[in-house]
Amino acid sequence: MAKPHYGDRGDASLPSFFIIFIFLQLLPTGNGKADFYVLGPGEPLLAIVGEDTELPCRMSPNISAEGMELRWYRDQPSPAVHLHKNGEDVFEEQMVEYQGRTTFMSDHMARGEAMVRIHNVTVFDNGTYHCLFKEHTSYSNATFWLKVAGLGSAPRIRVTNNHDKGIQVECTSAGWYPEPWVEWRDLRGQMMPAVTHFSVLDTSGLFTVVSSVVPQDGITEGLTCYISNPLLSESKVAESSWPTSLSGRPQLTEWRLALPLILIALGLVMAGVICLFGKHQREELRTQLEEDTEQGGKEQKQPGSWAEAKLFHVSPSLDPNTASPKLMVSENQKSVKRLLFEQDLPLNSRRFDQDPCIMAHERFWTGRYYWEVEVGDRKAWTLGVCLESLGRVGRIPKSPQHGLWAVEFYKKRFWALSYPRTPLSPPQPFRRVGIFLDCDGGEISFYHVTHGTLVYTFSTLSFPGALQPFLCLWTHDPIPLTLCPVVGETQKDKGPPGDP
pLDDT at 381: 97
- Residue of higher predicted confidence among 201 and 413: 413
- Greater confidence (241 vs 354) lies with 354
The phi, psi pair for 98, rounded to 5°, reads -110, 0
Average pLDDT score over the chain = 80
Q: CA geometry: angle at 406 spanning 437 and 141, to 5°?
A: 145
Q: Could you give all domains of the chain from N- to C-terminal order, each with its CATH number?
A: 37-149 (2.60.40.10), 156-239 (2.60.40.10), 306-483 (2.60.120.920)
> Identity (one letter) of the amino acid at 266?
L
Q: Kindly tell me if the per-residue pLDDT of 400 is higher than 80.
A: yes
pLDDT tens by residue, 435-465: 999 998 999 999 999 888 999 999 989 888 8
List strands edge to edge, sheet with 207-213.
Answer: 156-162, 166-176, 207-213, 195-200
* Distance between CA atoms of residues 404 and 399, nearest Å: 5
Amino acid 411 reads K
Contacts of 231 (CB under 8 A, 6+ apart): 46, 147, 149, 178, 389, 464, 465
- Cβ contact 364:439 at 8 Å: yes
Return d(Cα 341, Cα 75) in angstroms, integer.
19
Contact call for residues 352 and 404 (beta carbons, < 8 A): no
Amino acid residing at 372: E
Asked whether 497 and 315 are in contact (CB, 8 A), the reply is no
Task: Residue 32: name the closest of 143, 142, 140 by CA.
Answer: 140
Helix (H, G, I), strand (E, B) or coil at 230: coil
* β-sheet bridge partners, residue 432: 374
Provide the pLDDT confidence category of residue 342 given band limits of 50, 70 and 90: confident
Q: Is residue 368 a contact partner of residue 493, using CB atoms and an 8 Å limit?
A: no
* Tens of pLDDT, residues 67-80: 899 999 987 666 89
Three-class DSSP category at 83: strand
pLDDT of residue 299: 37
- 466 pLDDT exceeds 50? yes
- pTM for the whole thing? 0.46
| Dihedral sign from CA coordinates of 307, 308, 311, 313 | negative
